[in-house]
Structure 1
Amino acid sequence: MRIGVTMFSTDYAIPPHELAVEAEKRGYESVWFPEHSHIPTSRKSPWPGGPELPKWYYDTYDPFLAIAAAAVVTKTIKLGTGVCLVVQRDPIHTAKEVATADRLSNGRVLFGIGGGWNAEEMEDHGTAFATRFKLMRERVEAMKEIWARSKPKYAGDMVKFDEMMQWPKPVQKPHPPIIVGGGLPHGARRAVAYGDGWMPIGGRGGDTLGMLPEFREMLKLAGRKDSDVPITLFGVGMNADGLKRAEDAGVDRVVFGVPPEASDKVLPLLDKGAALIR
């Protein structure tokens, strides 16, 4: 089982490139950066994590710039978006960002995606909350066409473009793994339908490990193997018993969450996680 780490990168936290360097030194497999373009001050949409939205949701860096900074100072650690809100992004620009990051990192990008929860944030980008998951699928399908073909075109209900050309193409073929965030059953269904991995948040919505047999049955019914859609358990605490349970349950990757703090607070947590890895 592989171990990664995620943090909201901000101007008051350890910089993302330093976090990646320190995580790579300690044997972590991956480092992940989340995304929110902004948070509308109306705060109408409830945060799934609790009543109070943490300040760093307002403050987080752009994930692809964080990945680019990390890519040039590391050699082996994988670099993930956890998650990229593709429903708030132009798919042609996003396809280029993913491919460029994969080139600069020599094939180390993990493309974690999600539909998001903040309706007002989406509305500011012209995205309707009610149809966001249909839009997410079409944008993913469109990006796959861009990455795979020299002259791609796409015609969906919500995403359309005529034949065009775009380079660079990703190092990873046919593209970086698309790891779909979300819970059971809806997020899991999306991962089964068009993902290369499933990424539920640990402890969100009940016993995540208890959901895995149902997820694997969904894969079987869709004609996909467990290895086609490996499981990344995201944002969990550093606990030896929890890691053992995840490993026994066949989880492919666990991603620890660390707070957006300065180096003196974060590095001891990385050391604690590294001890668990060993």
Structure 2
Amino acid sequence: MRGLDGGPDGDGRGHEDEEPEARLGGPTGPSGPGGPGGRRSGFGSSDSSSGFGFGGDDRCATGRRRPRRTVKAASVTATAGLVAVGLSLAACSTGGTGSRDEGAARTDEIAAAAPTPSAPGTAGLQYAERVDPIALLKADPKIGQRLKSDLKPCVADAYPVDASYGDLTNASAPDVVVNVMTCGDAVGIGTYVYRKQSDRYENVFMAEDAAVYATIDRGDLVVTKQVYAKGDPVAYPSGEDVITYRWSGNRFTQHDWVHNEYSRAVGDGDGAEPAPSASPAD
């Protein structure tokens, strides 16, 4: 390729520069940026630092090949950088030495060091044993024959009997509290506590009275008796006695007694005030 100073026409242009010059300049007339005036103003400097001077490498001025090489080199460098980052991330996630694997390893170590809890309910499986309360009542020699005869299902095979299980006597099996009620209004008529001894259950407490009901409260036997005055309807007793028993040696002894009197201003009861009941004997 010829320089502009060595052209045969003496105008400073070579034949091979026409097409590139047209791309760089515009109109090639004297007044256009591609003409002599344009060359003096845009390309007249011989400073090679601009990359477009006539005194420098005119391959850069005509074909701009050097900037293209620079762009290609930058693209290759950026691609190589992305590949390196990708390989680094892959090594962290699969190589076993990255921070992510290290964190997981610490979690595994903590899980391995933690004590294995015992299976829940292992000791309580014994307390999940259920007994037939009807069979207990009918086989109990302490219960009178009249109650046994009156103990009949209310509907189909549903008996008016409630059963509660809990630890009252520190026995090897749960104690059973059985409450017998009437079918019509569900008023208690008897409560019984059975304690397992060897291969059978023994009656260790009983209270046969009108409107009596027993529950288990944190190891205590709590017996509630409704107190009725003359003319009180079943749904509106005048008061109640709440007696707490605890197991002592081989029997239950009274631990606490509370008497509650209900207001006469509510309900349908118009009877006389009931006399306070005496504290039951041990």
Same fold per TM (> 0.5)? Answer: no
Which entry has the higher C-alpha Rg, 1 or 2?
2
* Structure with greater strand share of residues: 2
Higher RCO (CA 8 Å, separation ≥ 6 residues): 1
TM-score using structure 2 length? 0.17
* Structure with greater helix share of residues: 1
